[in-house]
């Protein structure tokens, strides 16, 4: 909301309810009483006028600071779901060969008033998958893609935390991986990839079925949660993310 709209809304609020009207009337009566009963000459009137200007200006400066702070806060929104085949170098051939399908959630930072304070800093992600009965299936720390192209699922590396500035570039969160022809999928975790180079860690198995997923993003100036449905249709199918909501 623009500043002038906020001030307009504030002005309407002063006369919106009977109590606010009464208080505004009492304020005006008080000012009039001071002018009539206290002011004896033009010098005193000038002093009172200056005093009122100073008071109102100080109130405005406080309002302006609060408004700017609220409008410039990070505002992380879900942008899109992306999935693609990941290729890795072959140990036999001098070329890259297909590996797993990677599922990502992409986010944008869209503050109303982009400033330096709008950057969401040191953002980490925690992902929780639940079984249909509501019990926890897996809970893990999400990894952010260190991307090699703005509109590419492929990545050069992955990191535990990132800064998300305002702008057009998305922040890409790894969610899960699945190998073609297999029924099971796996959460994309640093622990899983360190213990099993191919990511097939038994600790992070995502079985067939639909699971509720909660993605909790937390960092300096940021604490938001998104929920969605993660569906694994089994062999011959890709993972699906749907019904993504900010909660």
135-175 residue pLDDT tens? 999 999 999 999 878 899 989 899 999 999 999 999 999 99
In this prediction, residues 8-18 reach a mean pLDDT of 69
Which pLDDT value is given to residue 153? 92
Residue 242: phi, psi to the nearest 5? -145, 170
Least confidently predicted of 96-105, 159-168, 237-246: 96-105
pTM above 0.85, yes or no: no
Which pLDDT value is given to residue 93? 47
Describe the crossing of helices 18-37 and 42-72 by its angle, rounded to 10 degrees: 150
* Residue 34 exposed, middle or buried by CB count within 10 Å (0-12, 13-18, 19+): middle
More confident residue, 192 or 91: 192
Average pLDDT over all residues of the chain: 85
Q: How many domains does the chain have?
A: 2
Least confidently predicted of 46-55, 169-178, 191-200: 46-55
Q: The domain containing residue 110 runs over which residues?
A: 76-246
At 49, the pLDDT band (50, 70, 90 cuts) reads confident
At 50, the pLDDT band (50, 70, 90 cuts) reads confident
Does residue 189 carry a pLDDT above 80? yes
In this prediction, residues 98-110 reach a mean pLDDT of 93
Q: Are residues 51 and 155 in the same domain?
A: no
Residue 241, CA distances (Å) to 34, 104, 160, 246 in order:
66, 9, 22, 14
Among 23, 47, 72, identify where a domain stops.
72
Among 72, 94, 113, identify where a domain stops.
72
Which pLDDT value is given to residue 179? 95
Does residue 28 carry a pLDDT above 60? yes
Which pLDDT value is given to residue 193? 92
Token duo for residue 79:
């942008």
Q: Kindly state the helix (H) or strand (E) to which residue 146 belongs, with its residue range.
A: strand 143-147
Which pLDDT value is given to residue 39? 66
Q: Are residues 22 and 36 in the same domain?
A: yes
CATH classification of the domain holding 158: 2.70.50
Does residue 94 carry a pLDDT above 60? no
In this prediction, residues 175-179 reach a mean pLDDT of 96
Which pLDDT value is given to residue 21? 76
Among 53, 72, 91, identify where a domain stops.
72
At 6, the pLDDT band (50, 70, 90 cuts) reads low
Q: Are residues 90 and 48 in the same domain?
A: no
């Amino acid at each position: 909301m623009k500043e002038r709209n906020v001030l307009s809304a504030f002005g309407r609020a002063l006369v919106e309810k009977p109590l606010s009207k009464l208080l505004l009337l009492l304020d005006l009566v008080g000012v009039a009483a001071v002018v009539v009963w206290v002011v004896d000459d033009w010098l005193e009137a000038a002093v009172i006028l200056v005093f009122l200007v100073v008071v109102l200006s100080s109130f405005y400066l406080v309002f302006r600071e609060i408004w700017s702070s609220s409008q410039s806060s990070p505002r992380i929104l879900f942008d899109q779901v992306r999935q693609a085949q990941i290729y890795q170098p072959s140990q036999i051939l001098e070329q890259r060969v297909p590996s797993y399908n990677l599922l990502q959630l992409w986010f944008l930072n869209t503050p109303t008033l982009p400033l330096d304070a709008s950057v969401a800093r040191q953002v980490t992600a925690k992902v929780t998958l639940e079984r249909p009965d509501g019990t926890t299936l897996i809970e893990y720390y999400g990894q952010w893609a260190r991307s090699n192209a703005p509109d590419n699922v492929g990545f050069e590396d992955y990191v535990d935390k990132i800064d998300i500035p305002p702008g057009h570039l998305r922040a890409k969160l790894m969610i899960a991986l699945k190998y073609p022809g297999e029924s099971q999928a796996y959460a994309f975790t640093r622990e899983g990839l360190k213990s099993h180079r191919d990511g097939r860690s038994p600790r992070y198995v995502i079985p067939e079925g639909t699971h509720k997923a909660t993605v909790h993003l937390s960092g300096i100036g940021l604490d938001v949660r998104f929920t969605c449905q993660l569906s694994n249709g089994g062999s011959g199918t890709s993972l699906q993310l749907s019904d993504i909501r900010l909660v």
